[in-house]
Structure formats: C-alpha cells, structure tokens
Chain A
Amino acid sequence: MKILVAIKRVVDYNVRVQVKPDGSGVATDGVKMSINPFDEIAIEEALRIKEQGKANEVIVVTIGSNDSQQQLRTAMAMGADRAILVESNAAVQPLQAAQVLLQVIEQEQPGLVITGKQAIDDDNNQTPQMLATLWNRPQATFASKVEFIEGNKINVTREVDAGLETIQVELPAVVSTDLRLNEPRFVKLPDIMKAKRKPLDVKAIADMVAAPKGQAIEVLKYEAPQARQKGVMVETVDELIEILKDKGLVS
C-alpha cells in the first residue's frame, strides 16, 4: 500500500506574524518557513505505518511555489520515499487544492491519505474533508490514534469537543491529524544528504487541473486584531477578590 501525505509550507509556528501597515497582507519577507506542524505529524504517522510493515511507500505532495521544495526535502529527510511538487505561484484555496490532490490520487492510487487537519496560516480546516468528498471516500478528521484492523479497515480515535470519539472507516480513506497523534522525529544530518538524492517530481498546476471548479473567496482587507487592554497587577488575594466582587463575578 502507498500512503500519500499532503503538506504545506507555512510561516513557522514560532513566528508572530504582523499585518502589513497598508492592510494588503501579512509580512512574510525574510520570515522563517516550515512544514505546517499538523502536516509534520502526518508525515510521522505515515512513516510509522510503513515501519510497521503496513505500507511500502510514503509519497509526500505539496502545492505551492518552487521554494516548497525545501519542505519536501525535509519530509524526505524524515523518511518519505519521494515527493511531488505541484507548482503554483498564486495562493490556492481549499476546494482547488482538493481537486489537485484528487488528480495526484488518481495517478498514484494510494491506500491512505494523511494530512494535517488545518494549515496554521489560513486556519481553514477544509482541504482533507473536501478531498475525501471529491474522492467519494471516508474521512477521519482530527485523529489522535490510527489503528489497523482486519479487512482493510482502520479505527481512528478523534479529538472532538465531547472527548475522544472512535470511528471505523474502510480504506482507502483520508485521515487528518491532530496534535496528539504522535511526536515527529528529528531529522539527522546524514538523512538530509540522502534526501537530496530522492526523487522530486515537479508538475505545473495548470497541467493537473486546467479549469478548477469553484470561485475563490476574495480577501478585501487584512487587519491586526483588537488588542486587549493591559490590566492591573494586584499584590494580594484580598485585592483580587475585591476586584472580582466589584465586577459582580463572585459573590
């Protein structure tokens, strides 16, 4: 079985992004870029499944600018076997991304697709569900545990508001990862060298999906969030309780 992992190059999660003064976007020049953290968890999960002997190839794919090759190389240094870059210099919205990934699925015929539940830039949380829909296959979102059971099925434990929900899905399926699924491994230097020789296939987005369905949502303006006013510091519990009583928050 092949596992396809879809990843995205995003501003590193430690960077505090700033909105540009003219409201045209967020400042990304010279900012550290990384694999979306949820996607890194997806890569790790695919590698662990392969190491358990339940898959024989891990293919990592991304849609983005040519710079995304860096993140694909990192994924291959972690252990992915080969990579596909679908090159696009324009931002791609989830429905379009799902259509491109569907084309990759049709070419590669994976038994399982794993991807992060959301990218930490747009915070959309849509592409995995849309991909599963277009593929007409099941989804298991927000996964914190993936367990293979007999008959080409998996049990996936999902982090939901009420607690931990387990569902059973038939493969092929799309799994989207949550934070506690695993802890991604660190990349070792020799693996970085080895990853340079692994195959990385570059395709133009227009060759994958010439006329994507669905209109893009237009972004009119970016603004910084309203900051909360810095409050007061108190020295004692008595002062704290006094303030809470004044505000009517405790009786």
Chain B
Amino acid sequence: MSKVLILAEHNGSQVNQSTAKVLTAAKQMNAASIDVVVFGNDAGLAPQVAVLNGVSQVHYVQCDDNHDQLAASIAPSIAQMGKNYSHVFGPSTTFGKDVMPRVAALLEVNQLSDVMEIIDANNFKRPIYAGNAIITVKTDTTQIVATVRTASFPADKSTDGQATVTESALTTAATHTSFVQLASGNSDRPDLQTASKVISGGRGVGSEENFEIVYNLADKMGAATGASRAAVDAGYVPNDMQVGQTGKIIAPDLYMCFGISGAIQHLTGIKDAGTIVAINKDGDAPIFEVADVGLVGDLFKIIPEMMEKL
C-alpha cells in the first residue's frame, strides 16, 4: 500500500489551496497513509493542514530567514523524509516546480510533472506539448516523485481531520542562496488560482489605463482578474496575472475573456474552466472554437453595457 508525503505550500501565514488539491489527488490512490510536510516560520501553519481529513501526520519544519521557500534549502530535507514513503507529491505551481525536481534528483528518480489523472499508484496521465497530447505513464520506482496539476483536482474542503503534528528544525539551509525580496501585485481581488470567477483581458484591451474597465467589471462580479501573455508582454498588467502554458493554469466556474484571440498556449491555461465566455471583435478568433458562449463585438461598448445590466 502507498504511503504518501505531500509538500505543503503557503505564503508565510496561510496554507495555499494547492495543498488541499494535492491531497484530493493523493486520496484517489487509496493510500494507506498520507502525511504532509510544512516548512515555515509560523506555528499557525501546521494546524491549518492538520484539520484536513485524511492527513495522518503533519511534519512541521521550523525555518529561519525565509529558507522555507528556497528549493536548495528544503529539498534535501524532503528527500531524506521521502525515503520512508512510496510517493512524494507537490503542487504544480511555481513553488512545487522549483523544488520537486531537486527532490527527485536526490532520490535518483525522474519526476512525473503535472499529473492530471491518477489511474492507480503506478499509472498516471499527464499533458505534453502544451496539452495537445496526453500521455499515460507508468513508473514503479521505490519512490515516485510527482507534481500535481492543481487545476485537475478540486480542493479537499474537509475540516474534521485530527492529524498529529511533529516539530523539527531545518538542518539543511543552503548557504549559497538567499531570498532578497518578493514584489507582488497586491490586489484586493480574489486570488486568480482559486477564484470561482475570472475576468480576463488580452492585447485587445489596448493599454494599462484601458484595463481599468476590466477591473471594474471584475469588482462588480466579485471575480479575479487574469490576462493573456500578450497583455503582460505589452506591459498592460503584471506577470502574476498571466494565464496559460507558462503562466497560471486555472479552473474557475466562469472564465470570461475580453480581447483575447486564444493562442493554444493560453487555451492550455483555461481548458478546465466550467464555462468559457469570449468577447472579441474578430469573429474568426480561435477563442470562439472553445468558448461555451461567444459574442462578437467591441469590448469598450460591451463592458459598460454589462456593468449597467448586471
């Protein structure tokens, strides 16, 4: 039977929902036990994980100086712990993608990247070629290291878990790497990766100033805001809003996009959305091939009309 270790992700004080999504994936293997490791500098983190039903044990590893986010510092510790498990899972977020291959290398295995479906403890599905092909893969190494594609699994919402918490201190802090700063968009809107509604804009929005109306509609609807790579490259919005193959992969109930043509790399990021609504002035834009509802028209007329009628 499988024994799973999950690497938790957090922002310093709040555990990221990606952790509960990876837990959902782990539960689908009917594992004998699932433990979670949290590297942090806030004792309030471990209890947030301990209440998730299905978690047996939370290993809380106390870190200093923001080493909790540095792959080179925490990977040796995860790999050491991982030797007692059959599976070591992390989220397929920038945090998980940074650290998990280091864990895999230390355990001398190839990593399964972006697992989107669990067939059983040894067989998985994952996308390649920006999601243009799906492969079924098999591995039976002593430890299986994987990142889990968070858009493919709902977050575990349970709060009645009673995991035990064990504490230790990080002994593998790297001396050659240090954290300097994090500059984030700091918006009051819902988090793009977990929001149930996302309003998104592309190059068609035209400028940083014009994005205001996209933000206004998002605020009216209680939605998070996203953007295409073209809009980020053009400097209209910060990089943390990018949705797509190299940005965020999201699965909101509603994804409404304005002035986005729908490059394959963007579609990769939204294909698990519940309902895709596309508004674009070009009726031939590829976005309409995947949209559930399409409207050809000028976003600068349509958004104000929606603001008025919603």
Contact = CB atoms under 8 A, between A and B. Distances in A.
Given A125-B113, A228-B276, A228-B290, A130 B102 contact: yes
B239 A139 contact: no
Mostly, the A contact residues are: mixed
A225 B185 contact: no
A237 B302 contact: yes
A164 B241 CA distance: 11
B133 interface: yes
A223 B264 CA distance: 17
B177 interface: yes
A230 interface: yes
B105 A231 contact: no
B135 to A, nearest CB: 5
Interface string B97-131: 11111101110111111100000000100011111
Contact of A123 (B114, B248, B277): B114
The contact size tier of chain B is: 35 or more
A224 B133 contact: yes
Interface stretch (B32-40, B137-145, B164-172, B202-210): B137-145
Interface string B249-275: 000011000000000100000010001
B43 interface: no
B212 interface: no
Contact of A120 (B130, B184, B221): B130
Interface string A163-178: 1111111100100001
B156 to A, nearest CB: 20
B182 A220 contact: no
A130 B101 contact: yes
A234 B113 contact: no
Interface in A40-93: 93
A241 B310 contact: yes
Given A132-B102, A244-B254, 12 more contacts: A16-B132, A94-B101, A95-B108, A123-B128, A123-B245, A160-B240, A163-B184, A178-B246, A213-B108, A231-B292, A243-B293, A250-B310
30 contacts: A17-B129, A120-B129, A123-B129, A126-B101, A129-B100, A130-B104, A130-B105, A139-B72, A141-B98, A159-B239, A160-B95, A162-B184, A163-B238, A164-B183, A167-B179, A169-B176, A179-B246, A180-B239, A216-B110, A223-B135, A225-B127, A225-B133, A231-B292, A231-B293, A233-B295, A233-B296, A234-B294, A237-B305, A249-B197, A250-B310
The 7 closest A-B pairs by CB, nearest first: A163-B184, A231-B292, A129-B101, A133-B105, A126-B101, A130-B105, A166-B180
Interface of A: 11, 16-19, 26, 93-95, 98, 117, 120-130, 132-134, 137-139, 141-142, 144, 155, 158-170, 173, 178-180, 213-225, 228-238, 240-241, 243-244, 247, 249-250
